Structure 1
Amino acid sequence: MRVLFSSTSGSGHFNPLVPFIDACAARGDDVLVVAPPKLEPLLAAREQPYRIGGEPPETELVPLMMRVLGLPADEGVSLMTREVFGRLCTTAMLPTLEELCREWRPDLVLHEMYELASVVAAEHHGVPHAQVAVSAAQFAESTDELLRPVLDSYGAGIAERLRASPYLTRLPTSLDPSPYAVTRRYHQPPAPDALPDWWHSSEDPLVYVTLGTEVGGMPNASALYRTVLASVSELPARVLLTTGPLTEVSDFGAIPRNVHVEKWVPQADVLGSASLVLCHGGSGTVYGALAAGVPLVCVPLFADQPTNAGLVTGAGAGLTVTADAPGQETAGFGPDGVARLRSAVERVLKEPSYRASAARLAAEMSATPTAGELLGSLGAVPAPGLR
């Protein structure tokens, strides 16, 4: 079987595809991965063949992204969805994906939900397709109508057939009910290794702090990190902060004694030992924490993060601390930002109900098929997205 995988830029969009890529490779399928140039270092480090597609011109993309970051969250999501994912990225990737669907002739296209050129190409060439969720279903549904005019400009009914195609998600039913008729849930079994002993045999609880890989490029990133670090500086806890490649740690000022900083650590290794995750509410981090039964304190910033944080809070698996005041020095959290963050972290660490709720979700998630098991059933799904 030939399986074509496609992703937009960003590890948060590519990573949900990885368990399916690995499962296809393990069972002997011919695999080809297509992504924009920014993902080439990540793809080159893997064993599967890949092709690099096009990317939007910087002269158009950069001004758009600056507008997105300056808008209220809902307006920013709307502009990002329509203009970046819908128009620019689809236009840039489409020639490569049309060529591959025409000449390589995959039996199945598996795409992350915001890589749309592969859907257009698959529809043009009669190739079955399925979408892998990178966000909660309620967030995905909110962007469907924004993408409909873009997709249907390439052929009548494409948007409707995309919505009817199999929707593969890692989030459990009780947390994230799905409006998609052909929803299939899966999980990725964690395989954690032990963390290095950065805290000299301390037995204090471990708090994992991550704001993802993109926050370092934001104008107020340093102020945000300083606020977060101040909130955990006096806790009787070990704190691991991962910053991603875009962040200059020297801008944070003095690092608290209980905090260890790394650019990157395998998430599964941290979550295997963590008592709490303090994060931005990104989908990958939320999924990983809940799959490991670890409660969260979410500090949502943009995109789908407010939705994810709301799901966590609603399920009783954590708390949300939201920005309520502008300002570079407080990163939008006002003068009481440090106190509010610290209070939330202390509460989640202290009250066992949060961990119990996270554990309940972890059990529900682990009862779903693995990605490999799910792949075996896709051919039997009676949906327009599969022939």
Structure 2
Amino acid sequence: MATFGHFYPLIPLAKAAVEAGHEVAFATGEQFHPTLTALGIEPLTAGMDMFAVMAEASGRPDHDPRETRANATPEELEAMVSRAFGTVLPRRYIDDLGPVLAERKPDLVVQEVGAAGAAFAAVLAGIPVVGHGFGRVSTDDSTARAIVREQREFARGLGLDLPDAQAFGLPFVDICPVSLQDKGFLASADRIELRPVPFAQPGPLPALARADRSRPLVYLTLGTAFGAAGLLSEAIAGLAPLDADVLVAAGPTIDLDAVGDLPDNVVVESWVPQADLLPYTDLVVHHGGSGTTLGALAAGVPQLCLPQGADQFTNADAVLRVGAGDRLLAGELGGLTDKARVLLSDVDVRDAARALAEEIAAMPSPIEVARRLPEYVKPA
């Protein structure tokens, strides 16, 4: 899908495939084409960004999906998300990729699992498919089950009978370490383990990260998709009392002017090179998105999750379960200062985060997996 959290996780394998001598074309939204070109990867156009997908799925394409989402009941929100990933995106990917696959006839399609339509288009064209995850998989989440039901119904309309198995029975490139991954998924999936390698657009680290550290550095982000200025301001207010420096990435959805006046120990940037920043941090406070969750774990940094929707709740639950951090749900932000202060000093949490970092470092590298890709190509 044409959004950062679904695009960045696929970059390491795509780069490695080029290095391994494979011819690689990457289909995504045009906003990401300059990044691909700079990496020596051929860009193709396909898919939609999160705002467009959710707006169309809501039935109100001219309205801000954040507003629609905020006013929806849990049942309405689940139906909207299942339509987005079960029907709207698949239809768009089939329309965009069908002609490309017919013309290019690739040997293999590596499909980001949020874009099931890419797999449907490949199957219809007789091309083998490998799925590629963007984080932890959940088998017991009602929204995830609703998405799969919608996808199967859509596929039946195409004449495809999807197998009743995780990831539709496809080989699955899994960037989530076993300790964090869903146990039901581990028991049933055809996994190709791949080390999650954080990716960020090149750029200078903020001065706060490069300064001589006399006190901890806390990093706050609400991600790139549905961050809200009110929640960000509330989180900043909760972190400001700490004896720490606080670096905030507002992201593309938040106007910096909406954040208001800042305490002396807080710096807000529109964007930071997160992959480069994480090793300098002592605590990451974030929305629970897959990229930030895995990036913090790969850096061995404790985290405090503030989940708002989608897979963020199951990611936060998993972080709590493995002891590498904590979470605060809606209505609990009054406890943010105390939670963060404990996490900055809790040796057990830091040890758990470092143990996850060691587990991640031992996973197969992108170049190792790229060299295996021909195994999944059908013989001529």
Q: Which residue, 18, 25, 33 being the options, matches 1:25? A: 18
CA distance in 1: counterparts of 2:154 and 2:214, whole angstroms: 54
Q: How does 1:236-247 map to 2 (within 5 A)?
A: 236-247=243-254
1:261 aligns to 2:256 (yes or no): no
Q: Give the partner amino acid of 1:183.
A: R
TM-score, structure 2 normalization: 0.86
Aligned AA for 2:159?
A: G
Compute the displacement of 1:370 (Å).
0.9
Cα contact 1:209–1:242 (8 A) shared by 2: yes
State which of 207, 215, 231 in structure 1 corresponds to 2:226.
215
Q: Distance in 2 between matches of 1:279 and 1:73?
A: 22
Cα pair 1:90 1:116 within 8 Å, conserved: yes
Look up the match of 1:95: 95
Percent sequence identity over matched residues? 30
Measure the CA separation in 2 of the matches of 1:374 and 1:167: 12
Structure 1 equivalent of residue 192 of structure 2: 184
Determine the C-alpha separation between the residues in 2 that align with 1:74 and 1:43: 38
| Letter matched to residue 279 of structure 1 | H
Query: Aligned-pair distance for 1:152?
Result: 2.4
Checking the alignment, whether the CA contact within 8 Å between 2:86 and 2:154 is kept in structure 1 is: yes
- Larger CA deviation: 361-370 vs 179-188: 179-188
Q: Is the 8 A contact 2:6 2:134 kept in 1?
A: yes
- Contact 1:315–1:357 (CA under 8 A) maintained in structure 2: yes
Match among 293, 296, 299 for residue 303 of structure 2: 296
**Within 2, Cα distance between the matches of 1:168 and 1:80?**
24
Q: Report how far residue 156 of structure 1 moved.
A: 2.8
Out of 4, 8, 13, the position equivalent to 2:6 is: 13
**Structure 2 gaps, min length 5:** none
What secondary structure, in the 3-state scheme, does the structure 1 residue paired with 2:233 have? Answer: helix
> Is 1:34 aligned with 2:39?
no
Shift of 1:302: 0.8
Quote how far apart the aligned CAs of 1:222 are: 2.0
The 3-state SS of whatever aligns with 1:323 is coil
- How far has the Cα of 1:144 moved from its partner? 2.6
Q: Residue 175 in 1 paired to residue 183 in 2?
A: no
Uncovered stretches (5+) of structure 1, i.e. residues with no partner: 1-7, 325-332
What is the CA deviation profile of residues 5-41 of structure 1, one whole-angstrom value per residue up to 9, with x for unaligned ones? xxx1211011111011101111221111112345445
TM-score of the superposition, structure 1-length normalised? 0.84
In the other structure, the counterpart of 1:232 is 239
After superposition, the CA RMSD in angstroms is 2.7
Say if 1:123 and 1:158, in contact at 8 Å, map to a contact too.
no
Q: Number of residue pairs matched?
A: 360
Q: State the 1:43 CA deviation.
A: 4.2
- Post-superposition Cα deviations, 1:92-122, rounded to whole Å, max 9, x if no partner, equal 2212311122110111101110112221121
> How far is the alpha carbon of 1:189 from its aligned partner?
4.7
For residue 225 of structure 1, what is the amino acid of its counterpart? L
The 5 A counterparts of 1:1-387 are 8-40=1-33, 42-43=35-36, 45-53=38-46, 55=48, 60-61=56-57, 63=60, 65=65, 67-72=68-73, 76-81=77-82, 83-138=83-138, 142=145, 143-158=147-162, 160=164, 163-176=168-181, 177=183, 178-179=185-186, 180-189=188-197, 195-198=205-208, 201-216=212-227, 221-324=228-331, 333=332, 337-338=333-334, 340-380=335-375
Instruction: Confirm or deny: 8 A CA contact 2:220 2:246 kept in the other structure.
Output: yes
1:363 is aligned with what amino acid?
Answer: E
Q: CA deviation at 1:378?
A: 3.8
Distance 1:59 1:228, change over 3 A: closer
Report if aligned partners of 2:12, 2:197 keep a CA contact under 8 Å in 1: no
Tell me if the contact between 2:9 and 2:197 (Cα under 8 Å) persists in the aligned partners.
no
